[in-house]
Amino acid sequence: MFKTVITLFRGGIAKAEEDLADRNALLILDQQLRDASAAFERAKKGLAVAIAQDRQEASRLVATNAQITDLEQRVVAALAAADEPSAREGAEAIAALEADRDAAQAAQSLFGAEILRLRRHVTQAQVRLAELDRGRRLARASEAVRDLRRGRVEEARPYEATLAEAETTLRRLRERQAEAEAADHALDELDGAATETVAETLAARGYGSRLKPSADSVLERLRAAAA
């Protein structure tokens, strides 16, 4: 029993952690991306320092080879002059320089391989960061759309209007506008009919020209045509 309670307790904690992570997934992703970007910048700086040091070592190696070449010429001249002590002194210096040169070449070879590895790592990290950034932007857009559609799939917050509510308001507004336009049109027709009735009455009494044909006007027109 006690073991079951402990298991349930641990399960509840794990579930709460998962729910918290789900609710704040975008915030967590933003911070993780910032951390990864900071690590990427540090890696780039480290690679830049390594490349600079490698170039310095290459420059020193070139200078060492130049020194060796110069000393070899001088030792040859000393041997030609039968100056054994000077030739030996020069040879000892050449041997020391050659030992330094060989060690530097070996170190540079290892350093070059490490730089290549770091370059690959930085390049891969850059690609992954770009992909993460695109994914983060897509996730933010999806979250915004989900918030916009919350009225259809989730209960909206008390202070937030939904698309469905806005559509209902627009529909009611259009219905009221249509009713008002119909009423205005009916009033215009009534006003026109009233005006037309008064005009016809006055015309029938002989005031002004007739508005509509009458039997008398038809007979007058036919008599005139027959004559």
pLDDT tens track for 18-58: 555 556 677 777 788 888 888 888 888 888 888 888 888 88
pLDDT of residue 18: 59
- Separation CA 120–CA 114 (nearest Å): 10
Question: For 129-188, how does the pLDDT look when each residue is reduced to its tens digit (9 = 90+)?
Answer: 888 888 878 877 777 777 666 655 455 555 555 566 676 777 877 787 777 777 777 676
Task: Name the token pair of 120.
Answer: 């690959």
For 68-86, what is the mean pLDDT? Answer: 88
